[in-house]
Structure 1
Amino acid sequence: MYPQSKSFSRKFLTAKFVLLSVISLQPATAASEEIYYGSRAGMSATVVSKSGIGTANAVIRVEHLPKNAKAYCVEYEQDNSMACVRRTMVDVKIPDRVSGNCTKKTWSDLSGRSYAFLGRHKAGDFAPDYAIKHALSGEILDGSSASGYGEALSVFQALCPGIAK
């Protein structure tokens, strides 16, 4: 082992502390959250803020960004062009938020449809895990992608975590 001076050790420790401090100040680069507006690949909007999650006034604000349009173009349309991204940005008209009342277990999605969460289906039923009622028609979603079950359930889970696990 080589002898080190106190001065060298102190400088080394100071440099190490500064480096670790700078690294810890860097923002986390977690994947951004998304809310889906359709059943096709890439049909999503980016979450920009949340408030009242799990309460009677749950709100998630979203923006449909070029990266969302790009995901749709590449994953569903199989089109990697900027023309597809521009066209998708013009064509997709969604509200800037989803909202829910977790006390009443009701919510609205990015297509403007409203739903009510009725709980688990009975054991043995040939049905999805949960009963979700479309507020306007009164029909129970059948679990298919055509019924919008996946999008409706994922929005409810984001607004009211812990109810439908």
Structure 2
Amino acid sequence: MLTEMWVDRTDYHHTRVVQGDLPTPGEGEILVAIDKFAMTANNVTYAASGDMFGYWQFYPTTEDPWGKVTVWGIGEVLASHAEGIAVGERLYGFFPMASHVVMEPGESSEKGFADAMPHRSELPGLYNYYARTKSESVQLQALEDQRCIFFPLFMTGYVIA
């Protein structure tokens, strides 16, 4: 079952859980189970500046004024119709606050890929890149929890500096 957390973009105190059938990935797409993600002040910023900076556009909802807050997390490929992306691969990147998501890997390497979903084509690459963790060191793979929290903070500090 697909479970998503939706937030009223005009009043962040108003939330709802939306459930439905798991989507089936189409040709060139993958279904990712989002295993874990971090909740930090960054997520509040994504919601508060979502319209101004386009964060609500990464994972749009089917109803206004609802949106999906974005999070940095780890997911596992459950189904793949994308060349070179295997079921069971673990990914690190910018996900919706949800149990699952369908993605369309664009040109990929052993290190990662950009999501090529049409609604994401004009969005910043920093938030559109997904690391394929199988090519990383065992030490880095063991730090999934810490990565979800600290890597985005490092990137934010770099961008602000």
TM-score range, shorter chain: under 0.3
More strand per residue: 2
**What is the TM-score normalised by the length of structure 1?**
0.25
Larger radius of gyration: 1
With a CA cutoff of 8 Å and minimum separation of 6, indicate the structure with the bigger relative contact order.
2
